[in-house]
Amino acid sequence: MTPAPIVIDVDRLTRRYGAKIVVDQLTLQVPQSAVFGFLGPNGSGKTTLIRMMCGVLRPSSGRARVLDCDVVADPERVKRSIGYMSQKFSLYADLSVEENMDFYGRIYDVPRARLRQRKRELLDLVGMHEFQRQLAGTLSGGWKQRLALACALIHEPRMLFLDEPTAGIDPVARRDLWDLLFELSGRGVTLFVTTHYMDEAERCTHVGYIYLGRLIVCGRPEELKQMPEITPAGTRREELRCTQPSAALPKLRGLPGVRDVTLFGDALHLLIDDSLTEKALLEHLHGVCAHASVQPMDPSLEDVFVTLSRREAARDHAA
């Protein structure tokens, strides 16, 4: 099987606002049909990067090719083949669902007959036939996002950029939206999605993590979890289940050999030295919580991102 062609090729892309560097020498490649999850704290440069890749913001330096178009030299050419859903709801609140779709259809010069067909397909896809005549401003959050997706897809883009599409919508709508995204990916559309949700990141085929404008890690989730710096030599990750994990947490934090403890619901995720045995660990918790059990586990993506951004912060601090 030949590897999928690269559709996003970003090379040392930089954007400054005055003295502030928002995106710093960022290099990134995304293959076709990927669902690329892009994560990072607020203000770390996610939206700025997307805007540069969509050709609406000029980079300060660096190169970016999207679908074989140079978006720095000729930002207009790529626009016919990409779709963009911004963070904020940005459709016309005083136009109806159908009018919004018609408008974007006309903007992209979709022929009239094709537009009619496309509207039907997309209303099917997002399940919005009954809202067709409703004003966009009166839709609830999840429906607004679906409409935004439908509008972004009206011209059958090969590449879709979504900036926090699921921020502030309910879990069911969130799940539905992701199902839609995977359906699109199955049809060969490449998706570039920013998010704050780890469960969404886990579903992506590729993820990247940006910290203060720098891309600190990028790859397939399972590869990232295997990175040696996530679970350094001589340590291992364990999951500890017990009746009162919150009581166990401070107790474990002080224990020699425990590198990191994080509470996950009714379990604790530990990074401990190999020298610390399960038996010693459980003995230490005796009297604090009952029914404790330990089992080895793989790191989660959250572990990966937390570990790497701590390391990056420590490096910044040292420098």
User: Of 260-289, which residues contact another protein (CB under 8 A)?
Assistant: none
Q: What's the min distance (Å) between Cβ of 4 and another protein?
A: 24
Cα dihedral value 134, 140, 145, 146, nearest 10: -50
Asked if 282 contacts 295 with a C-beta cutoff of 8 angstroms, the reply is no
Q: What's the min distance (Å) between Cβ of 174 and another protein?
A: 21
Query: Is 84 one of the binding residues for another protein (CB under 8 A)?
Result: yes
Asked if 197 contacts 37 with a C-beta cutoff of 8 angstroms, the reply is no
- The angle that helices 141-153 and 97-107 make with each other, rounded to 10 degrees, is 30
Query: Is 106 one of the binding residues for another protein (CB under 8 A)?
Result: yes
Give residues with Cβ within 8 angstroms of 155, minimum separation 6: 80, 83, 104, 105, 108, 110
Give residues with Cβ within 8 angstroms of 293, minimum separation 6: 240, 241, 242
Residues 31-70 vs another protein: string with x where CB under 8 A? --------------------x--xxxxx------------
**Cα separation of 27 and 158, whole Å?**
21
Q: What's the min distance (Å) between Cβ of 179 and another protein?
A: 24
Query: Is 20 one of the binding residues for another protein (CB under 8 A)?
Result: no
Q: Which stretch binds another protein (CB under 8 A): 25-33, 79-87, 138-146, 307-315?
A: 79-87
Residue with the two structure tokens 């400054």: 16
- Strands 190-194, 159-163: pairing kind: parallel
Task: Report the residue number, 102 or 200, with the smaller CB distance to another protein.
Answer: 102
Tell me which of 1, 2, 42, 76 binds another protein, using CB under 8 A. Answer: 76
Residues that bind another protein (CB under 8 A): 51, 54-58, 75-76, 79-80, 82-84, 86, 88-95, 99, 103-104, 106-109
